[in-house]
Amino acid sequence: MKTIFQRYLYPAGSVVSGILTSLILIKTMRLPCAYPVKGKRGANPNEVFIFYGLLFFIAGPGIHLQAQKATAVTGVSITVEDLDREVAFFTEVLDFRQTGQEKWEGAEVSRLFGLQGENTSVQMVTLQLGNETICLMDFDGAPSRAIPADTRSNDLWFQHLAIVVSDMDAAYKRLLEAKVAHVSTAPQTLPEYLPNAAGIKAFYFRDPEGHNLELIWFPPGKGDPKWQQGTTVFQGIDHTAIGISDTEKSMAFYRDQLGLVHGGHSENYGTEQEHLNQVFGARLDINGLHAGSGFGVEFLNYIAPPGGRAYPPDSRADDLWHYQTEIKVDDLNGLMQKLDKEGLAKKSSNIVEIGSSRMCLYRDPDGHAVLLRQAME
């Protein structure tokens, strides 16, 4: 739930404060000058060399690390079992538009997803809603493992897409007509005692294969201002939300390692939250992050109740609970060196080149799949 200040001015302020701090340091130092001022003795050349060498030594690594960052959250890919059925659901019920279809196959695909064999094949359909895109992936071969029927919102494999609507009543009516599976009892309006979320309307549901989705409506003053401008019922995707076990560990990965910006926080609880998540006694620590463009990543850390189950350690890309958050980066090699040094789980054998992209698939601290992608020059 990001305000304009949180999303734009705060990061800009951090940059400005860094520049001002640098200027103050330079102003208060005796800066060696390579050329003498008239009437004064010039600086010792050795001092000049040492000063600028030290400055480069200090600033150089920072400049390099700053380049190793996410520039956009470009989409989410979801593994499906019946591609035609899922495409029909997203396009006919939720008003997505199909914009592309392709097939990847061969050894490079096996290496990218960490799957056995040399002949992995996956059919992919790209869907767009507003300015945001997702991809549905259907792996050929043996049937995919189904999402556990008893999945709850506080299980750590939980992930959803938050679809923004301009009219919650109209959107919910469409879902009722399609007989979708409810997670929430009904659309919920978050109460006034939650200042960062008050007035937001939300509803959790599932697609025909059990993938979690959310409808969300923002009142004026909440969310991205662009969501106040649309006229269609289904407008776009605001964020993907993931279940996490430890906010600091997730921040260390998404913010400190990948370079996403922390944009907002809310602690949600109460009757409406319980009915939304269908978790009795739910109390959540929620944090939103974003890159320079694309939709956001939202952490759902259940302070209560205990009992959320861990992400299955033997998970594969062809499991139906596989959601893959896709992030564009500007220095894949450098970023991978950082992540490997931190011991982050890597599913790909190494960087894989497919089409016009260099890619590598990682697991975040809780097991959620994250595909890092860099355009080939």
Examine the domain organization and report whether 32 and 85 are in the same domain. no
Domain count, the chain: 2
Which among 156, 133, 215, 157 has a CA at the least distance from the CA of 182?
Answer: 215
Banded pLDDT at 44 (limits 50, 70, 90): low
Examine the domain organization and report whether 95 and 199 are in the same domain. yes
Examine the domain organization and report whether 42 and 62 are in the same domain. yes
- Regarding pTM above 0.85, the answer is no
- Rounded to 10 degrees, the C-alpha dihedral 73/74/76/77 comes to -140
Extended strands (E) in the chain = 70-79, 97-105, 121-129, 132-139, 159-165, 181-182, 188-189, 201-206, 212-217, 234-244, 261-269, 283-290, 293-294, 296-304, 323-329, 352-354, 357-363, 369-375
Q: Which residue has the higher pLDDT, 165 or 50?
A: 165
- Whether the pLDDT of residue 8 is over 70: the answer is no
Q: Taking a C-beta distance cutoff of 8 angstroms, is the pair 367, 157 a contact?
A: yes
Banded pLDDT at 38 (limits 50, 70, 90): very low
Beta bridge partners of 181: 206
Question: Domain with 291 in it: what CATH number?
Answer: 3.10.180.10
Examine the domain organization and report whether 39 and 75 are in the same domain. no
Banded pLDDT at 187 (limits 50, 70, 90): very high
Banded pLDDT at 18 (limits 50, 70, 90): very low
Examine the domain organization and report whether 251 and 349 are in the same domain. yes
Examine the domain organization and report whether 154 and 265 are in the same domain. yes
Q: What is the DSSP letter of 226?
A: G
Domain end residue (candidates: 25, 40, 67): 67
Q: Round to whole Å and give the CA distance between 156 and 95.
A: 29
Examine the domain organization and report whether 208 and 238 are in the same domain. yes
Q: What is the extent of the structural domain holding 180?
A: 71-330+338-375
Examine the domain organization and report whether 78 and 125 are in the same domain. yes
Examine the domain organization and report whether 63 and 121 are in the same domain. no
Examine the domain organization and report whether 121 and 11 are in the same domain. no
Specify the pLDDT at position 138.
Answer: 98
Which among 317, 134, 87 has a CA at the least distance from the CA of 240?
Answer: 134
Beta bridge partners of 298: 241, 288
